[in-house]
Amino acid sequence: MKIKVGFGFDVHQLKDQHPFVMGGVTLEHHKGAFGHSDADVLLHAICDALLGAANLRDIGFHFKNTDPRWKGISSMILLQETVKLLTEKGWTIGNIDAMLCLEAPKINPHIPQMQENISKAIDLPVEDISIKATTNEMMGFIGREEGVVAYAVCLIQKL
């Protein structure tokens, strides 16, 4: 068996009166992440971790932010397309571990739904999807609620 580990990172600007989608959950907040797709930083970081582990470049290579096909698209679709790319190369996902960094809103109550959304989208057991959240202790652009950051690592395997 061959195993590989991947790392992903994503950051999006927060804007007033914009939807805030995280892990496929729309969060109630006065600001939301802004981007070409639905700007789901969690799923973007996971996509990059998976693509990187399989040496398939990055999310921007496969889903360009200049391509109108991806404008406003749900990042769950991008995640599903990413998993298809891995499957075509013979890879399966062992686990995903992700960390969100933002001041508000509180993420903890939404983690089970995020895990369930990801699990259903990519057919990976919930117990293999870890999502955690922290603040930036009110420092920097995250502390000023100007942006949100996500990190993810994954393990993939090939028999």
Q: Which residues are annotated as a binding site?
A: 10-12, 36-37, 44, 58-60, 63-67, 134-137, 141, 144
Token pair of 140, please?
Answer: 């920097």
Q: Distance (Å, rounded) from C-alpha 64 to C-alpha 136?
A: 29
Among candidates 51, 50, 149, which has minimal Cα distance to 97?
A: 50
Q: Could you list the residues known to form a binding site for a divalent metal cation, using ranges.
A: 10, 12, 44
Strands (DSSP E) found in the chain: 2-16, 20-22, 25-27, 31-34, 92-101, 129-134, 147-158
User: Is 19:52 a contact under the CB 8 Å cutoff?
Assistant: no
